Amino acid sequence: MAWLAQKLSSIFCGYQSTGLGVSQRTSILFGLTTMFGLTTLFGLSILFWQYRQERDCVVCAESKGKSSFPLSSVSNNCNHPPATCLECLQRHIKIAIDEKAWHARVVTCPECNSGMEYDEVRLYADSKTFKKYDARLLNDAISQQDNWFSCLGSGCGSGQIQESPDSAPIVTCIACSHKYCFRHRVPWHETLSCEEYDCLLADPHNFRPAFEIENEQVERDAKVAAAKTQAAAVIAARAWENRASEAMVNRTTKKCPGCGWAIEKNQGCAHMTCIICKHEFCYDCLANYETIRERDNRGHRKRCRWHTRNLRRNN
């Protein structure tokens, strides 16, 4: 019987090269023992001894020795014995940390999705993966602060504390140097303040930035200033023309002593009659002609060339 047990054991191990799983090989061996009448406790002990030495991994479906599996459940939250080999478990942890969106329970048991604790991840992850996991946990703890900013750049992964984010909302990443808005968590909105960006988000169709309004105001102010300058130039030109005209009038005309109307003498004698008030006067000395009629040429002013005394001198 010992020889037969050894033979059955070699048959059991030989089936391993065929790619059959442990459960399949056990079924075949159980059939053989039944065929040979080996239903004793000794025969069954051979089967269970062999079965305990190897398991099928539920992930890769390969049959591996018990040393290739965790000694106990991968998480304290698991309610089942481990059925994933250490190699697949390590790969599962790496993928979870590298590819999944990060949160506190991102690393889970590959069989029941129960969350793995920090020490459990450290036990089964490779050193490089665990360092990344540890850094992410630290980053999570720091990022809970109100003034923490995580870089939005693809593949950057950096983060930093922004001092006084309310008064200084522009964040310049210390790793990639890209600029972001701390308040809106977007690339920095050039030419727009945070308040203007809020208005843009609230009403994008009717929004007008302050710089555009300011530019229009500057243009309006420039037009008003130009109009004022032009008006001042016109006024100055007109004033000069008026002064020149007045000077010309003063040189070529004299005001009627009766009403002040400017009268120009083109030709003829000095006896003038105002067309406005009909006042008669001497154009040269402005003497009233009624006085001249009463006193003859002595009615002219003494400096007038028509005064009697001046006429005698001229003669």
> For residue 43, what pLDDT band results from cuts at 50, 70 and 90?
low
Question: Which of 53, 50, 55 lies closest to 30, judged by CA?
Answer: 50
What is the pTM (predicted TM-score) of this model? 0.40
> For residue 94, what pLDDT band results from cuts at 50, 70 and 90?
very high
Residue 168 has pLDDT above 60, yes or no: yes
Q: What is the pLDDT of residues 177-193, one digit of tens each?
A: 999 999 999 999 988 89
Distance of CA 281 to the CA centre of its chain: 88
Q: What is the pLDDT of residue 185?
A: 92
CB 146 within 8 A of CB 161: no
Q: What is the pLDDT of residues 120-133, one digit of tens each?
A: 999 999 999 999 99
Average model confidence (pLDDT) across the chain: 83
**Domain assignments of the chain as residue spans, ordered by start:** 2-56, 86-187, 208-253, 256-314
